[in-house]
Amino acid sequence: MAKTISPSDSRGRVKPLRKRSRELPWPANLYQTAVGKKYIMALTGIGILGFVLVHMIGNLHIYQSPLEVNDYGEALRDLGGNLIPRTLLLWVFRVGLIGMFILHIHSAWSLNRMSEASNEKYQSKRDYIAANFASRTMRWTGPIILLYLFFHLADLTWGWWLGDTYIRGDVYHNVAESMSSIPVALIYIVANVALAVHIYHGAWSLFQSLGINNPRYNAARRGFATGLAGIILLGNLSFPIMVQAGVISEDNRTTPPAGSVTSGALAPLSQSTVLEVGS
Amino acid sequence: MINLDSKVPAGPLADKWDNHRFSIKLVNPANKRKYDIIVVGTGLAGASAAASLAELGYNVKVFTFHDSPRRAHSIAAQGGINAAKNYRNDADSVHRLFYDTVKGGDYRSREANVYRLSQVSVDIIDQCTAQGVPFAREYGGLLANRSFGGAQVSRTFYARGQTGQQLLLGAYQAMAAQIATGKVTLHNRSDVLDIVTKDGQACGIIVRDLLTGQVSSHSAHAVVLATGGYANAYYLSTNAMNSNVTATWRAHRKGAAFANPCYNQIHPTCIPAGDEFQSKLTLMSESLRNDGRIWVPRGLDETRMARDIPEEERYYYLEEKYPAFGNLVPRDVASRNAKTVVDQGHGVGALKNGVYLDFADAIARDGVETIRERYGNLFDMYERITGEDPYQRPMRIYPASHYSMGGLWVDYNLMTTIPGLYALGEANFSDHGANRLGASALMQGLADGYFVLPYTIGDYLAPKLGEKVVPTDDPVFKTALEEVDSRTRQWLDVKGTKSSDHYHRELGKIIWEYCGMSRDEAGLNKALTEIPAIREEFRKNVKVLGTADGLNQSLENVNRVNDFMEFAELIARDALHRKESCGGHFRVESQTDEGEALRDDENYSYVAAWEWKGEDTPQELNKEPLTFENIKLTQRSYK
Amino acid sequence: MSNNLNFKLRIWRQDGPDAPGSFLDVEANNISEEASFLEMLDVVNENLLENDIEPINFPHDCREGICGTCGVMVNGQAHGPEKATATCQLHMRKFNDGDEITIEPWRAKSFPVIKDLVVDRSPLDRIIEAGGYISVPTGTPQDANATLIPKEVAETSMDAAACIGCGACVAACPNSAAQLFTSAKLHHLNVLPQGQPERWKRTEAMVETMEEYFGTCTNHGECHEACPKEISLDFIAFMNRDYVKAKIKNRSLASQAK
C-alpha cells in the first residue's frame, strides 16, 4: 500500500479542449480567437446591416413610380460619375459585401462549432431567464437568411423562375410579377421576419462584442436594436404585402416597361441587379 | 516536559523585530532553490506564505482540501483589516495598536509578537494595495477607514463587506503567479491527515487524495501548517462546514504543544439558529455595531413587534452598562451580555434566542441610502436567510462560535515545539491572547505569511544546506501512511446506525453548554466525562457508506469529527485548569461584583501549552510565563 | 413557529467521472421552511443513510454565499430560482409545499462530473494562473496612499472583484462560455492604476487560456442572471475591447523592446 504518488499524477487535470494555434501576424491573429472572431462578426454585421437598411430604403422608390425605382437602380451603377469606369464602384461595394458575408458566416459557423464542442447537455429541462428567442435562434435565423438570399437573387436578379415574364432592369415589373404568387410572398414574409429577429439580437449584441458600451446607454442599445429591426421589418414586409394587396401591380402601371425606354443603357447591366435591387 | 523557549529577542520592544531579523541566519538567494517547503492550507496565511516563499526562491508544495485555493474560509471575513497607518490623524500609532491588541486579548498574549504584528500591519496595507485589492476609497482617492470594536481610532481598512475575500484573492493571485512559474506546486482536493517526523524534526506529511482516495507521502525540509482554527468543534459555528482541527491535532499528537485551547471566541453578531437542522450560523459583520443599537425588550414574554415597543420599554443594555464604548465593546463582552439577557428571558424571535440590532436611528440620522451603501450586502444577506427586511425591522442576532485564539504553540519564529514544523494564522496561538479584536485576524494571517515566516524560516533552514529531504520510502513515512490508510478505512467497517454529523452535533451541544460563553468547574467536569462517552459511542456506532477509493464526503467528515472528539476533551481540560476568567474564557467562579471577567494575574499569567502523552494519558501542562514590560496590566474596563 | 414542507426531489447520481449517471427520485419530507437548500439536502442524506443508501455528494463549504464552492442546477436554473443568490443561501421558504425539484450538477465539457453533484472547476484556476494577478512580490512597495484611486474606479473594480468563482456563469451559458468569470477577473485588475503595466499581457493571456477550455459568447445574458453576485455583462464588453486593444498594444510593446 505504501505507494508514493503525487495526486496530480494519478488523476490528471482537466485538459484543454483545444490547443492554441501558432499566432499569425496582426491583424490576422485577431481572427484566430473567439473574442476576435466575435469582433469581426460584429464589424461585418454592421456593414451588412448598413446594406440591408440602405437597400430597404432604396427600394421604397417603388412607391414613387416604376420609373423612379428603375432610375435608382441606374444611379447605383453610375456611382462615381464619369471619374471612374461605370459600375466599378458598385462592384467594389459588391465584393466588399460578399467578403463581409463570408466572414460573418464563417465566424458564426466556427464560433458555433467551438461552443458545441464545449457544451455538455443537461439531462433535465433548462429554464432560461435572459436568453431570448432571438439570441437562441441566431444559428437558425442565420442560415434561413442565407437560403433566402439565394432565393432572392435567383428570383429577382437572375430571373430563374419568372422565366419569360422576367424583364432585365425592370424592377417594378419583376417585383410585381414575382410577389403576386402567394407562396413567393410567404417566403419573403417568413424570411424577413427571420431577418428582423436576427437583427433584434445582432444589433444589440454587436456593441457588446465590440466593447463599445457605456453603462449609461445600455438601455438605449436595446431600444436601438428593436427600432432598427422594426423599421427594416416594416419596410421589407411592405413589398410582398403591397403586391398582394394590389398596390404594386402591372395593372396600375402608367409608364411603359423599362426595356422600351432605356433599353440601350440597360443592355450591359443585366447582371448588375445582383445585390441591390429586389424586395 | 518540553522546553518552551519563546526565542523572544532581547532589547527594547520597538527594536526587537529589527534586531531579530539581523541576528537570525539567512539562506543565500542562490541556495533557496535547494529547499523544499510544504505549506498546508491556502487561506490568508497559507497563500501569502506560499507566494512569498516561492518568490524568494524556495520550492513550495501547497495542499488544500478545497477544489480551488481561493475557497479557504478566510474568504468569509467581512469587516476589515487593522493597520496602524494613522491616516485619520486620530492619534493612532504602532504602539496604540499594540496596546489595544494586548488589552483586547485580556493580557494573555506575548508582548513581542503583538508588537511585531502592529509594526508589519502597515506593510500589509501597502502590499495588498499594490496587489490590486480594491479597498474602499474616499472621493479624493485616499483609502477609507472605519472604526471597529475595542478601539477608539478608525484604523480598519475594508473592501465593502468582503474584505477577507479581497485579501484572499490578492494572496491567491500572488500564489497563482508562482504556480504559473512552477515554483509552487498546487495539490488541491488533498486532505492532510498526518504530520511525519524523523529524529524529532518535521519531514513531511501524509495526504489523502479526495478524488481517488489514494494516500500518499510528501517530504520537505520544513512543513508549514496554516490550517485555520477549531471553532467547528462546537458544530454550530460561523466556520465553513469543512473547517477542521485535523492537521493541528495530528501535529499535536506527534509532539507539537497545543496552547490555550480553551480560548475560543464567541462572535456577538450572528444570525440565531432557526431550527434543529441548522448546519451553520452566519456571521453578520461586527461593523454593524458601528451604526446599529443593540437592545431587548425590558419585559419578559414580550410578544409585540419590535417597532411597537416604546422607547422606555427597550433595554439598551450595552449602552447603559458601558457608556464609553457602548455598542462597540469587545466581542467577548458583547457576547456574554447577550447571553445574560437571553438567559434572563428577554430573548427575541420565535425561539427567543436573539437580541435586536436596530438600525432605525441610523437610518433616521444618515438616510437609508447611506446605510445601504455601508451595509447593503449584509442587509441583503440577512433578508435572504431570515426572510425579514432589516430596513423595516431590527435584525435579530446572537453569539456563535467564531474564532480560536488558541492553537499550536509557536515561538517568536512561528515554529512549533517540533523543529521544522511551523504554524501560521489562526492555527497558532500567538497574537490574540484570550480574545481577538475585530479586524485583527486578517492582519495576523497576512503578517505571518507575508512578513514573518519568510524571514524566520531561514533561521531553521540555513544550517540544513545540502541535506536531502527524507525520502518518502523511509520507514517513518511508510508507517505513517499505513496508519492513515487503515484509520480512514476502518470507518467503513464500523457499520453503526448514526451519521458522523449526528455525533458532531451532539459533541457541539456538550461543549457549547459547558465550554461556551461561561464555564464552571462542575460543568467542565461533566464535559470531561460526557466527551469520552460520546466519543466511545461515536466510534462504535457511526455509519459510513460508500468506498474509500474515490470521492466520499461522509468519509472525509468522519475523520474530522473523530479528531474533534479527541480535541474537545482538551478544550475542557484547559478550561477547567484555568480558574480565572480572561477574554473569551469566562469562569463563573471568577468575576467582579459587576459580573465582569476577573483575571488572576498572580497565578495564570502564562500560556498553557499542552503536551501529548499518549492515547490514554491526559496531556501534560507546560507553562510559558507571560511578562509584560511595556504595558501595565489593568482590569479591562470599557465603561 | 415555522411550517414544515414536503418536496419530491429528482437528484442526479453518478458514481464517478466515467460512470453513467441517472436521476434518483427521493422524497424530502418535513423540511423546515427556515432550512437552506443545502440543509434540506443534509436531511435527505440522513434519511438515505438510514436506508443504507450512500448519501449524495454535493459541493458546499462556507454556506454563506462567499466561498463559491456550492452550486447545482435547481429546476434548470444555476443556483436555483432566486436572483443573486448562491445555492447555500437559497431557502426552502422560496418553494411551495409539494414542489417537484430537479437537481443536476453544473454541466460543461471542461467541468467534468466527479461524483453526483460535484464537478471539477479547476480550469477557472488555470485562467487566473495565466495572468490574473499583479506581479508585485512581497516586500515594501510604496505607501498605500501614494497612488490615488478615484472612488468610482475602486468601486467598479470591487464590483468585478466580488466574483466568487462558483462557475454558475459557465453552467448557465448555453455555450458553456466563461466570459463573465474571465471578464470580471480582468476588469478587477485592468481598471486599477496598479494593474496597468501588465494590462495588455494579462488580457491576451487570460482570454486565450479561457478559450482553450470554454465556449464562445453569444451575448445571451444567462450568465448574469445566474450570477450570485450579479456581475455585470458590461465587463464582457470591456474585456472584448481590451482584448482587441491588447492585440495592438502588445505588438507595439514588443517592437519597443527590440
Average pLDDT, chain B: 95
Task: Give residue A254's pLDDT.
Answer: 64
CATH assignment of the domain containing B598: 1.20.58.100
> Which range marks the domain in which residue B344 is found?
267-402
Using CB atoms, list chains with 3+ pairs below 8 Å to chain A.
B, C
- The residue from C115, C140, C159 where one domain ends is C115
Q: Is B110 a catalytic residue?
A: no
* H or E element that contains B480: helix B475-494
Mean pLDDT over B46-53 rounds to 98
Whether residues B397 and B289 fall in one domain: yes
Lowest mean pLDDT among A97-101, A174-178, B90-94, B635-639: B635-639
Q: In sequence order, which residues have a C-beta less than 8 Å from that of residue B394 and are 6 or more positions away?
A: B292, B295, B306, B356, B357, B358, B359, B360
**3-state secondary structure string across chain A:** CCCCCCHHHHHCCCCCCCCCCCCCCCCHHHHHCHHHHHHHHHHHHHHHHHHHHHHHHHHHHHHCCHHHHHHHHHHHHCCCCCCCCCCHHHHHHHHHHHHHHHHHHHHHHHHHHHHHHHCCCCCCCCCCCCCCHHHHCHHHHHHHHHHHHHHHHHHHCCCCCCHHHCCCCCHHHHHHHHHCCHHHHHHHHHHHHHHHHHHHHHHHHHHHHHCCCCHHHHHHHHHHHHHHHHHHHHHHHHHHHHHHHCCCCHHHCCCCCHHHHHHHHHHHHHHHHCCCCCC
Residue of C nearest to A24 (CA): C247
How, if at all, do strands C100-104 and C4-14 pair? parallel
In a domain, A70, yes or no: yes
For chain C, the straight-line distance linking the first and the last C-alpha, in angstroms and rounded, comes to: 74
The 8-class DSSP code of residue C162 comes to: T
CA gap B293, B340 in Å, rounded: 17
CA gap B599, B591 in Å, rounded: 8
Chain C residues whose CB is inside 8 A of the B136 CB are 154, 158
Whether residues C111 and C127 fall in one domain: no
Whether residues B507 and B397 fall in one domain: no
| 3-class secondary structure, C227 | coil
CA gap B63, C254 in Å, rounded: 37
Chain C residues whose CB is inside 8 A of the B125 CB are 144
Task: Give residue C258's pLDDT.
Answer: 61
CATH assignment of the domain containing C227: 1.10.1060.10
Q: Which of C136, C152, C188, C231 to mutate to test the interface with B (most CBs of B within 10 A)?
A: C136
CATH assignment of the domain containing A77: 1.20.1300
Asked if A20 lies within 8 A of C251 by C-beta distance, the reply is: no
Asked if A5 lies within 8 A of B472 by C-beta distance, the reply is: no
Number of H helices, E strands in chain C: 8, 7
B93 pLDDT tier (thresholds 50, 70, 90) = very high
Asked if B141 lies within 8 A of C125 by C-beta distance, the reply is: no
> Touching check for A9 and chain B: CB below 8 Å?
no
Question: Which of B445, B173, B161, B160 has the alpha carbon at shortest distance from C194?
Answer: B173
Whether residues C32 and C70 fall in one domain: yes
Task: Give residue B168's pLDDT.
Answer: 98
Residue B294 pairs with which residues in a beta bridge? B357
In a domain, A12, yes or no: no
Chain A residues whose CB is inside 8 A of the B212 CB are 7, 10-11
Grid cell, residue B568, equals 474537545
> Touching check for B69 and chain C: CB below 8 Å?
yes
Task: Give residue B268's pLDDT.
Answer: 92
Whether residues C151 and C102 fall in one domain: no
C-alpha count within 13 angstroms, C-beta hemisphere, residue B108: 36
CA gap B386, B141 in Å, rounded: 37
> Touching check for B179 and chain C: CB below 8 Å?
yes
Whether residues C37 and C135 fall in one domain: no
Determine the residue type at B100. Answer: D
pLDDT in tens, B460-508: 999 999 999 999 999 999 999 999 999 999 999 999 999 999 999 999 9
Residue of B nearest to C47 (CA): B499
Task: Give residue A257's pLDDT.
Answer: 61
Mean pLDDT over B238-242 rounds to 97
Q: Which of residues 181-210 of A touch C (CB under 8 A)?
A: 201, 204-205, 207-210
Asked if A1 lies within 8 A of B207 by C-beta distance, the reply is: no
pLDDT in tens, B386-429: 999 999 999 999 999 999 999 999 999 999 999 999 999 999 99
Chain A residues whose CB is inside 8 A of the C104 CB are 122-124
Asked if C77 lies within 8 A of A33 by C-beta distance, the reply is: no
Task: Give residue A76's pLDDT.
Answer: 86
When divided into structural domains, chain A yields a total of 1
Contact yes or no for B416/B258 (Cβ under 8 A): no
Q: Which of C14, C87, C89, C133 to mutate to test the interface with B (most CBs of B within 10 A)?
A: C133
Whether residues C106 and C167 fall in one domain: no
Q: How far does C124 lie from chain B, in Å, by closest CA?
A: 9
Question: Which of B546, B627, B629, B635 has the alpha carbon at shortest distance from B590?
Answer: B635
CATH assignment of the domain containing B369: 3.90.700.10
In a domain, A28, yes or no: no
In a domain, B167, yes or no: no
Whether residues B508 and B390 fall in one domain: no
Average pLDDT, chain C: 95
In a domain, B182, yes or no: no
In a domain, A210, yes or no: yes
Whole-number CA gyration radius for chain C: 21
- Torsion angle, alpha carbons of B375, B378, B379, B382, to 10: -160
Whether residues C23 and C150 fall in one domain: no
Residue B356 pairs with which residues in a beta bridge? B295, B396
Each of the 279 residues of chain A gets a pLDDT tens digit; together they read: 333 333 343 455 799 999 988 999 888 999 999 999 999 999 999 999 999 999 999 999 999 988 888 888 888 888 888 888 988 999 999 999 999 999 999 999 999 999 999 999 999 999 999 888 999 999 999 999 999 999 999 999 888 888 888 988 888 999 999 999 999 999 999 999 999 999 999 999 999 999 987 778 888 999 999 999 999 999 999 999 999 999 998 877 766 665 544 433 443 334 444 344 433
Mean pLDDT over C25-35 rounds to 94
pLDDT at C234 over 60: yes
| 3-class secondary structure, C8 | strand
Asked if C122 lies within 8 A of A215 by C-beta distance, the reply is: no
pTM: 0.94
In a domain, A245, yes or no: yes
Asked if C215 lies within 8 A of A115 by C-beta distance, the reply is: yes
- Torsion angle, alpha carbons of B232, B236, B239, B244, to 10: 20
C196 pLDDT tier (thresholds 50, 70, 90) = very high
Whether residues B509 and B382 fall in one domain: no
Task: Give residue B277's pLDDT.
Answer: 86
Whether residues C39 and C100 fall in one domain: yes
Chain C residues whose CB is inside 8 A of the B51 CB are 138
In a domain, A104, yes or no: yes
pLDDT in tens, C128-184: 999 999 999 999 889 999 999 999 999 999 999 999 999 999 999 999 999 999 999
| 3-class secondary structure, B268 | strand
* H or E element that contains C44: helix C37-50
| Residue from B160, B331, B374, B535 carrying the catalytic annotation | B331
Lowest mean pLDDT among B16-20, B635-639, C100-104: B635-639
Mean pLDDT over C95-106 rounds to 97
In a domain, A8, yes or no: no
- The residue from C115, C137, C161 where one domain ends is C115
When divided into structural domains, chain B yields a total of 2
> Which range marks the domain in which residue C40 is found?
4-115
In a domain, A270, yes or no: no
Grid cell, residue A120, equals 455538455
φ, ψ (nearest 5 deg) of residue B434: -95, 0
pLDDT in tens, B194-222: 999 999 999 999 999 999 999 999 999 99
Mean pLDDT over B164-189 rounds to 97
In a domain, B168, yes or no: no
> Which range marks the domain in which residue A230 is found?
33-115+135-259
Angle between helices B111-131 and B94-104 (to 10 degrees): 120
Task: Give residue B481's pLDDT.
Answer: 98
Residue of C nearest to B551 (CA): C115
CA gap B96, B80 in Å, rounded: 18
Asked if C109 lies within 8 A of A17 by C-beta distance, the reply is: yes
Mean pLDDT over B626-632 rounds to 94
Contact yes or no for B230/B360 (Cβ under 8 A): no
Mean pLDDT over B227-249 rounds to 97
Task: Give residue A255's pLDDT.
Answer: 64
Task: Give residue A65's pLDDT.
Answer: 87
pLDDT in tens, C60-71: 999 999 999 999
Task: Give residue B147's pLDDT.
Answer: 86
Chain A residues whose CB is inside 8 A of the B216 CB are 3-7
* H or E element that contains C37: helix C37-50
Task: Give residue A256's pLDDT.
Answer: 64
